[in-house]
Amino acid sequence: MGYSFVHPTGVTLYNPEKAFNGYTLMSIRELGAGLIDMNGNVVRLWKDLHGFPNKLLPGGYVIGSLGIRDPAYGYQDQTDLVQVDWEGNVVWKFNRLEYIEDPDNKPQWMVRQHHDYQRDGNPVGYYIPGMECRTDGGNTLILCHENLFNTKISEKRLLDDCFIEVDWEGNILWSWRASDHFEEMNFSDAAKNAMYRNPNMLENGGGMGDWLHINSMSYLGPNQWYDAGDERFHPENIIWDGREANISAIIDKKSGVIVWQMGPDFSATKELRRIGQIIGQHHVHMIPKGLPGAGNILIFDNGSWGGYGTPSNVSKDGIKADHADRSRVIELNPVTMEVVWQLTASELGYKPAGIFDYRFYSPLTSSAQRLPNGNTLITEGTGFRVFEVTADHEVVWEFWSPFTNAVAPTVYRTYRYPYSYVPHLAKPQETPIPRLDIKTFRVPGAAAGQLANQIKVAGTTGYGDKQELCVSFGEEL
């Protein structure tokens, strides 16, 4: 992607007048869950509380996981899903989905949670005015793993995705298994053939096929479409996306049937062709009622690689058949399938399109949260960057995570919450950070030089929002 070897970390840009000011919760791998203020100060760290993802609840409670399964036998499985208070005391825990006896490991109960969960009171887990997660009761919807065989998909062992709903006491009240609905997912014959041969077999995790790889799951919540009589959008229905299959879908919670789906084939209708191929997406969810854009679907379309299809010059076996070296955030109307808002590298000022698309690109992880003021908080995971943009695509806050290492070289997902969620702390000072002029800024000790004496102006170019000098050192361009 062409990042500099040396660049600032922490908050590099902040406009308090235009940002939705509050605390941002993120996972600081190998340390725990970290809460930062708008100037990037870590105001609270819940040690060893690893988030897949972490979510903040009113009153300073946090949900996350304590313990990760040995990766030699399980892929991304969390052992215990817990809720802790401000001091880090566990006030709720669930792990009794499956009793695991891995070789050379102590037998234990595990929840096998990964990527997402939701607590009663809030359909998506981020801040919605008047729609708060319960902290002392209620059900929890959890995305989990299950190992199984399904010869309709492949003869190889599969790492399947399942949803469970548990009450506060840990009783499993409802469940849904993705592989049971394989025939509903509209895979082409070519995709089925490719998947049968190789259902995305993992190199680690005990040799299983992570055929779908669901990475987000949430309730729809109250919405205008259901209010108007469209049963597909019942508030209790569940929206999810499968990264490896390029599918986003909604299931009817009562029957388990898929009632709305987008992908994997984005050439199937003129509406899908206008959207264009979505690849490897993350954090697909319906914007909740009470927020700008309510009822629309928000998607972080990673680009990168994903999908099953015909073998080609980019996929010799039809696995990861779709490729795009760019990311985008899309907001679309789920009834008309019209894109009503988007963010790409072009909207961020990197032009011309196509050449500089890679300047906004996260092949893995990532998310997008709609904020009450109409802004969108975006996690560009593999770039270690979190930023907030207005509806007009102005960046009003930017944070480059310093909390990265070879073990966890991404920022999975972050959330912004109001100060009122943390009554334990006084409201922090909000210090504006103006945008640096990178044409004149120099690292201390580096000579700026007298460029005017060394260069010959050769013209201007329209790259970026402003006209910039294009210069030549001693020869014509």
User: For position 85, what pLDDT does the model report?
Assistant: 98
445 and 431 in a single domain? The answer is no
- Greatest mean pLDDT range, 26-30, 126-130, 350-354, 401-405: 126-130
| Among 351, 406, 407, 404, residue whose Cα is nearest residue 381 | 404
302 and 346 in a single domain? The answer is yes
399 and 456 in a single domain? The answer is no
206 and 79 in a single domain? The answer is yes
Residue 4 domain flag: no
446 and 412 in a single domain? The answer is no
Q: Taking 80 as the threshold, does the pLDDT of residue 139 lie above it?
A: yes
348 and 476 in a single domain? The answer is no
Q: What is the mean pLDDT of the chain?
A: 92
195 and 62 in a single domain? The answer is yes
Residue 32 domain flag: yes
401 and 459 in a single domain? The answer is no
Q: Average pLDDT in the 221-241 region?
A: 98
User: For position 406, what pLDDT does the model report?
Assistant: 52
Q: Average pLDDT in the 78-99 region?
A: 98
Q: How would residue 79 be classed by pLDDT, with cut points 50, 70 and 90?
A: very high
Q: Taking 50 as the threshold, does the pLDDT of residue 58 lie above it?
A: yes
Residue 5 domain flag: no
Which CATH number goes with the domain that contains 353?
2.120.10.30
41 and 144 in a single domain? The answer is yes
User: For position 149, what pLDDT does the model report?
Assistant: 98
DSSP 401-452: -S---SS--S----EEE-GGG-TTSPPPP---BPPP-TTT---TT-----GG
Domain count, the chain: 2
User: For position 408, what pLDDT does the model report?
Assistant: 57
The secondary structure of the chain in percent helix, strand, coil, rounded to multiples of 5, reads 10, 35, 55
CA gap 99, 39 in Å, rounded: 44
Return the CA Rg of the chain. 23
Q: How far is CA 218 from the centre of its chain?
A: 13
432 and 445 in a single domain? The answer is no
Residue 2 domain flag: no
Q: Centre a 10 Å sphere on the Cβ of residue 367 and count the other Cβ atoms it contains.
A: 27
Higher-confidence residue: 462 or 381?
A: 381
**Amino acid, single-letter form, for residue 382:** T
Q: Taking 50 as the threshold, does the pLDDT of residue 49 lie above it?
A: yes
Q: How would residue 407 be classed by pLDDT, with cut points 50, 70 and 90?
A: low
Residue 290 domain flag: yes
Q: Average pLDDT in the 143-158 region?
A: 98
Residue 299 domain flag: yes
Tokens linked to 340: 């009503």
Q: Taking 50 as the threshold, does the pLDDT of residue 227 lie above it?
A: yes
User: For position 204, what pLDDT does the model report?
Assistant: 81
User: For position 462, what pLDDT does the model report?
Assistant: 38
User: For position 186, what pLDDT does the model report?
Assistant: 96
Range of the domain at 469: 441-477
Residue 383 domain flag: yes
Q: Read off the pLDDT of residues 313-334 as tens digits, 9 standing for 90 and up.
A: 999 999 999 999 999 999 999 9
Residue 1 domain flag: no
Cis peptide before 402 (omega within 30 of 0): no
15 and 118 in a single domain? The answer is yes
35 and 64 in a single domain? The answer is yes
Least confident piece of the model among 30-34, 62-66, 139-143, 378-382: 30-34
